[in-house]
Amino acid sequence: MEAKIYNQTGKSVGTIALPTEVFGAHWNGDLVHQVLVSEGGNARNNIAHVKDRSDVRGGGKKPWKQKGTGRARHGSTRSPIWVGGGVTHGPTNEKDYTRKINKKMKAAAIYAILSQKLKNGEIIFVDEIKPTEIKTKEAKVILSSLATISGCEDIATKRKNAAFIALGKKDKDAERVFSNIKSVFIGEWRNITPSELLKYKYIVVSHPEESVKFVASKIK
């Protein structure tokens, strides 16, 4: 498999050989869903908590006698049917939502997503992202240049979740340039997750030779 490599001005500068096991994998929706649900659970900050009838204050005395009042019998004001009583089956912060994700499962999910995005023409390989000046207008120029690539025309105009720019290594200048573009997220390729790959329409891969070699090593 081969794909074109572009520079940040949107012009083709060469090709790259892509490993079939990474970019030619079959779509596995069940696996991807399982990994995404597990990632969401692991990131969940469980703070929602309610009190059941054993936790609320009061209720030690029977509200009224059992018989003779004409009213329904009650044993405690802590009952869930009373205002101020406990909550039945409410959320508690003791519940654990974390789930284990095997490394091979996560890698397989990433490969499935990358393969599907490559098939849809939503992956752009760029030799490097190197801004000439640290200004937001420079980021807009780069996005506009990438929009000239066939099939990627809306990367500069899409208002939400337009692109994930995956850098080969940490680059503070590039991060600063794109920091004010809310539709774009920029980070290191080694930190990609399935949820981030699916969140953004386009994946811009910087330093493709090193990046592809790194992601291919995940299967071993």
Res 216 pLDDT > 90: no
Res 58 pLDDT > 90: no
54 CA to centre of own chain: 39
The model's pLDDT over 79-123, given as tens digits with 9 standing for 90+, comes to 999 999 999 999 999 888 899 999 899 999 999 999 999 999 999
pLDDT of residue 219: 56
Residues facing 206 on adjacent strands: 126
What is the average per-residue pLDDT within 3-17? 92
pTM attached to this predicted model: 0.81
Tell me the one-letter amino acid at 183.
Answer: S
Q: Hey, where are the domains in the chain?
A: 2-44+102-219, 46-96
Cα end-to-end distance, the chain, whole Å: 20
pLDDT of residue 136: 93
Tokens of residue 192, six digits? 């990609």
- Sequence-distant (6+) residues with CB within 8 A of 17 are 1, 2
The model's pLDDT over 132-184, given as tens digits with 9 standing for 90+, comes to 889 999 999 999 999 999 989 999 999 999 999 999 888 888 999 999 999 99
Res 220 pLDDT > 60: no
The model's pLDDT over 194-214, given as tens digits with 9 standing for 90+, comes to 999 999 999 999 998 888 888
Distance CA 187, CA 167 (A): 6
As its CATH architecture, domain 2-44+102-219 has 3-Layer(aba) Sandwich (3.40)
pLDDT of residue 171: 86
Distance CA 28, CA 26 (A): 6
